[in-house]
Amino acid sequence: MADKDSNSVVPDEELAFRWRGGRLSLNFTATVGERWRDRFERLREPADLARWFNEAGLTDAFVAVTVARLGHARQLREALYRTFVAVRAATAPQAADLDLVNKWATRPVPGPALVLRGDRLTSSPASPDAAGLLTAVAGDAVDLVTGPLAGRIRECDRHDCALLFVDESRAAARRWCSMDTCGARSKMSAYRRRHGQ
C-alpha cells in the first residue's frame, strides 16, 4: 500500500497506470488518480516516470529520471490537464499553461545518427532521455488540441472516474473511458436500479 497523504492509503492496484485515453498526452494526465475526490499521485518517484515511459511505448531503454525532471513532468501534466479541460469546455486555456506546454513541445530533440555497420550506412535512433520523452508527450497534446479530434476530448461519465479520453466512435457519443470497466459498471448499476436491486 502507498500513502495518499499522511492520513490515507492507496491500494497498490490503484497505482497502476491507466491507458484508456486513446492518446499519449491524455494517458499522461491519468498519472493522477481520483482527481474528483482525494487525488493521489501515481508518479511518486523518478522510477515511476521511467516506468511510465516504458509502459507508454516511448522507449524500451531504461531512462534515467532525476527528482527535478519528475517535478517538471508533474508540472507539464497539470498544464496539459487544465488545457484539455479548457478545450473540452470551449474556453481559453490559461496563458501560463500554454507557455509551459509550448516550452516542452518546441524543445529541440536529437534526431537519428548515422552509423557505419560493416560497409553500410544506417541510421540509429537517438538515445532517449526524459526531457525528450516529455517533449513527445507535449507534442502529442499540441497535435490533439489543434487537430480534428479536439472537439472529441471527453471526461468519463462514470461518477467515480474523471479520466479524459478522445472519443473516436462513429457517432461521437462515447460516454465512458472504457466500456470494459466504467461502462460495464454503469450499465450494471442502471440495471440494478431498474430492477429494484
* Axis crossing angle, helix 130-146 with helix 67-88, rounded to the nearest 10: 0
- pLDDT digit string, tens, across residues 1-50: 555 554 468 788 889 999 999 999 999 999 999 887 888 999 999 999 99
pLDDT at res. 191: 47
pLDDT at res. 167: 94
Beta-carbon-side half-sphere exposure of residue 26 (alpha carbons within 13 Å): 26
Q: Residue 112: how many CB atoms within 10 A of its CB?
A: 10
CB neighbour class for 144 (10 Å; exposed up to 12, middle 13-18, buried from 19): buried
Q: pLDDT over 70 for what percent of the chain?
A: 84
pLDDT band at 135 (very low <50, low <70, confident <90, very high): very high
**What residue ranges in the chain does DSSP mark as E strands?**
2-3, 9-10, 32-33, 40-41, 113-117, 120-124, 153-155, 164-166
Task: Assess whether pLDDT exceeds 60 at residue 177.
Answer: yes
Determine which of 32-46, 56-70, 138-152, 155-169 has the lowest per-residue pLDDT on average: 155-169
For residue 62, the one-letter residue type is F
Owner of C-alpha cell 450494471:
188
Q: Delimit the domains of the chain by residue range.
A: 2-194
For residue 58, the cross-strand partners are: none
Q: Of the candidates 100, 145, 109, which has an alpha carbon nearest to the alpha carbon of residue 127?
A: 109
Task: Assess whether pLDDT exceeds 50 at residue 186.
Answer: no
All three cell numbers of 188, joined, read 450494471
All three cell numbers of 38, joined, read 482525494
* Axis crossing angle, helix 130-146 with helix 46-55, rounded to the nearest 10: 60
In whole angstroms, what is the distance from residue 178 CA to residue 156 CA?
8
Q: Which CATH architecture has domain 2-194?
A: Orthogonal Bundle (1.10)
Contact between 29 and 81 (Cβ < 8 Å):
yes
* 76-to-13, 16, 81, 83, 196 alpha-carbon distances in Å: 25, 20, 9, 10, 46
- pLDDT digit string, tens, across residues 96-128: 999 999 999 999 988 888 888 888 998 877 778
Task: Assess whether pLDDT exceeds 70 at residue 76.
Answer: yes
Q: pLDDT over 90 for what percent of the chain?
A: 58
pLDDT at res. 112: 80
Average per-residue pLDDT in the chain?
Answer: 87
Q: Which residues contact 65 (CB under 8 A, 6 or more apart)?
A: 46, 47, 49, 50, 73, 130
